[in-house]
Amino acid sequence: MQQSELNYFKDMLEERKIQIVKNISGVNEELMQLGKEELNDECDYATNSNYSSVESAIVSQQQKELKEIDVSLEKIRSHEYGICEMCEDLIGFQRLKVKPHAMYCIDCREIAEKSK
């Protein structure tokens, strides 16, 4: 992969990382505020609990993406970016444009998902 392409994906990954960190911080702040609210009845408690569960799931997914982004940024630094972790072929440019932290090519992604 050419240096200009690596720079393109590095910028893309760093922007997404900043966005995720802001999202996680905002959600954590909202969850702390919810914990301070006075709940008057079971309906309030259920609503609060449901919202907390959804937000926690979102944070969990974004933390996973953040780890994948960090791995991808390290691969850019070590010039190993864009190589499938399963078959070691190149991951397609278009796939990386859609998901710059992709670890697998399209074919291997399907195999990895089926094995989970």
Domain boundaries, the chain: 1-80, 82-116
Contact yes or no for 104/86 (Cβ under 8 A):
yes
| pLDDT reported for residue 111 | 92
Contact yes or no for 3/77 (Cβ under 8 A):
no
pTM of the model: 0.80
Supply the mean pLDDT for the chain.
88
Write the pLDDT tens digit of every residue in 57-75: 888 999 999 999 999 999 9
Neighbours of 46 (CB within 10 A): 11
Write the pLDDT tens digit of every residue in 7-47: 999 999 999 999 999 999 888 787 777 666 665 666 665 66
Is the pLDDT higher at 114 or at 89? 89
Q: Residue 24: what residue type?
A: I
Bridge-partner residues for 110, per DSSP? Answer: none
Query: Which of 22-26, 52-56, 80-84 is predicted least confidently?
Result: 52-56
Tell me which fold the domain 1-80 belongs to. Answer: Four Helix Bundle (Hemerythrin (Met), subunit A) (1.20.120)
